[in-house]
């Protein structure tokens, strides 16, 4: 035997509050009770009781005669000796008082509550619905039980969490911040509205693969992975487009998907590496069809959450129910430059115009790519009111159909609201010969090192060669729509956004 000290235990390194809470948990276990029972006696939610009884219509010290069993998180306790006032809260933020008195629960049970329960614990209470002497709606407990013991204390509701903590520990932010809980429900309402609008128009929701063999459907840098079963390099999808078009080719004339997409690019207030995207395609539709659909989707979602007028970042108001503007990309760029430009403007002249305005370009860009960069740097964030920016250069929208009357352009728009791209849409290219030519051009760019160029997807081209109907198609960033309707940044709209490791 030796006199060496025992190795430290986990409890030795714990903060005092956590150590005390663990001891209380252990006391529950040693007394034969569970700190985390598998079944809970629950007859009513706190909301249901609030909705059934209006304390303002009841006199103080009223007994309703109804016995209920409720569950909630303890957020406040006031001990007056023979009586404990306990404020319970459930997930939607509804609160209700429970009263534990010596006369009703007994000396041992009341002593146990005082000794074992902390702020943040979940408890169940059974008793009669009453009003207190001060007229507050309450449950007069005849018994209580531990439902889930919290081993870590909650943050102080009167001291805001740091921005970092709010995002990194979103669950705590939701506990103490009603706005954070509301955001979850707002996004759910938006998603429900989007589906309802599309379903009512006869669209069919499908699921398509997240793991892809090729990079297509958008200009973006993908995440790369490896499928061990096939010993095959794979990508996480950057868009939903190509598989949805295959479904349309197969006979699903109106098809949509709301799914997660992944782009291995920069992160900022409007960009996330993982985000929710809606894409929809309608056979025999075109750009006009998509304008109507996009407007209906946005307005229906805005009405669903009661926000048809939102505040822009410049402090002005955006009334989404007012008419939306349409403007050509070339016209907007010409206006910003003070010089008329079009697809026939020489590349060297466009380069000079960009240099004069300190717009950085990549070597070898063609006229369409330069014009798009000028638009994105000089115009896009100035478009506060809803604007359909139309008629993009062919080289920057390889999946869109050539314009019916404007050579060198395609039938495409981006909906810009509050300076942010919300919803791109096309009259979809359905000529497999032209589509192959454009994707070959994209694959050559990829071979030269362009990380955002699309791959040549033979599976998609083969499907197109069986005949793809004329169609309109659109995409919409769901998180960006929620941003527009709430005024929040993209990290606030995503429940658990990606963060650097601590």
User: Which residues make up each annotated binding site?
Assistant: 414, 421
Alpha-carbon distance 456 to 438, whole Å?
9
Residue bearing tokens 């939701």: 174
Alpha-carbon distance 350 to 338, whole Å?
13
Q: CA 380 → CA 389, 409, 417, 418, distances in Å? A: 9, 19, 9, 9
Burial letters 447-462, b for 16+ CB under 10 A, else e? eeebebbbbbbeebbe
End-to-end CA distance of the chain: 42
Alpha-carbon distance 131 to 62, whole Å?
5
Alpha-carbon distance 473 to 248, whole Å?
11
Q: Which helix (H) or strand (E) holds 194?
A: helix 178-200
The annotation places the binding site for Mg(2+) at 414, 421
Cβ neighbours, 10 Å, residue 179: 12
Alpha-carbon distance 255 to 277, whole Å?
14
What CA dihedral angle connects 415, 421, 425 and 431, to 10 degrees? 140
């Amino acid at each position: 035997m030796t006199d060496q000290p025992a190795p430290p235990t986990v409890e030795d390194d714990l903060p005092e509050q956590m150590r005390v809470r663990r001891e209380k948990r252990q006391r529950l276990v040693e007394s034969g009770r569970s700190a985390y029972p598998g079944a809970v006696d629950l007859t009513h939610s706190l909301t249901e009781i609030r909705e059934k009884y209006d304390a303002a219509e009841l006199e103080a010290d009223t007994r309703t005669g109804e016995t209920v069993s409720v569950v909630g998180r303890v957020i406040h306790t006031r001990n007056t000796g023979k009586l404990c006032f306990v404020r319970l809260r459930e997930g939607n933020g509804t609160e209700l008082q429970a009263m534990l008195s010596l006369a009703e629960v007994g000396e041992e049970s009341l002593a146990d509550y005082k000794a074992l329960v902390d702020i943040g614990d979940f408890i169940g209470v059974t008793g009669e619905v009453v009003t207190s002497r001060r007229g507050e709606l309450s449950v007069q407990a005849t018994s209580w039980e531990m439902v889930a013991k919290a081993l870590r204390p909650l943050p102080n509701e009167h001291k805001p969490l740091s921005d970092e903590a709010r995002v990194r520990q979103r669950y705590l932010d939701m506990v103490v911040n009603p706005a954070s809980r509301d955001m979850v429900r707002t996004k759910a309402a938006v998603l429900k509205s989007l589906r309802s609008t599309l379903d009512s128009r006869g669209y069919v929701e499908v699921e398509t693969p997240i793991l892809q063999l090729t990079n297509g459907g958008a200009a973006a840098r993908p995440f790369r992975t490896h499928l061990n079963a096939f010993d095959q390099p794979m990508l996480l999808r950057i868009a939903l487009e190509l598989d949805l078009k295959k479904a349309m080719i197969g006979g699903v004339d109106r098809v949509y998907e709301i799914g997660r997409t992944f782009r291995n690019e920069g992160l900022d207030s409007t960009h996330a590496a993982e985000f929710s995207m809606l894409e929809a395609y309608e056979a025999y539709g075109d750009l006009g069809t998509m304008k109507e659909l996009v407007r209906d989707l946005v307005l229906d979602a805005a009405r669903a959450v009661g926000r048809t007028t939102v505040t822009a970042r410049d402090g002005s108001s955006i009334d989404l129910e007012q008419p939306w503007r349409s403007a050509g990309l070339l016209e907007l760029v010409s206006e910003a430059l003070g010089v008329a430009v079009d697809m026939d403007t020489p590349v060297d002249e466009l380069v000079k115009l960009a240099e004069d305005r300190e717009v950085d370009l990549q070597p070898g860009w063609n006229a369409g790519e330069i014009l798009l960069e000028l638009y994105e740097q000089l115009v896009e964030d100035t478009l506060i009111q809803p604007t359909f920016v139309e008629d993009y250069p062919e080289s920057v929208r390889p999946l869109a159909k050539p314009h019916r009357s404007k050579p060198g352009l395609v039938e495409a728009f981006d909906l810009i609201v509050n300076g942010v791209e919300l919803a791109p849409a096309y009259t979809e290219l359905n000529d497999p010969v032209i589509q192959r030519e454009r994707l070959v051009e994209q694959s050559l760019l990829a071979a030269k090192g362009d990380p955002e160029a699309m791959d040549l997807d033979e599976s998609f081209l083969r499907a197109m060669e069986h005949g793809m109907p004329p169609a309109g198609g659109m995409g919409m960033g769901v998180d960006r729509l929620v941003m527009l309707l709430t005024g929040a940044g993209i990290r606030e709209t995503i429940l658990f956004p990606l963060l650097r490791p601590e």
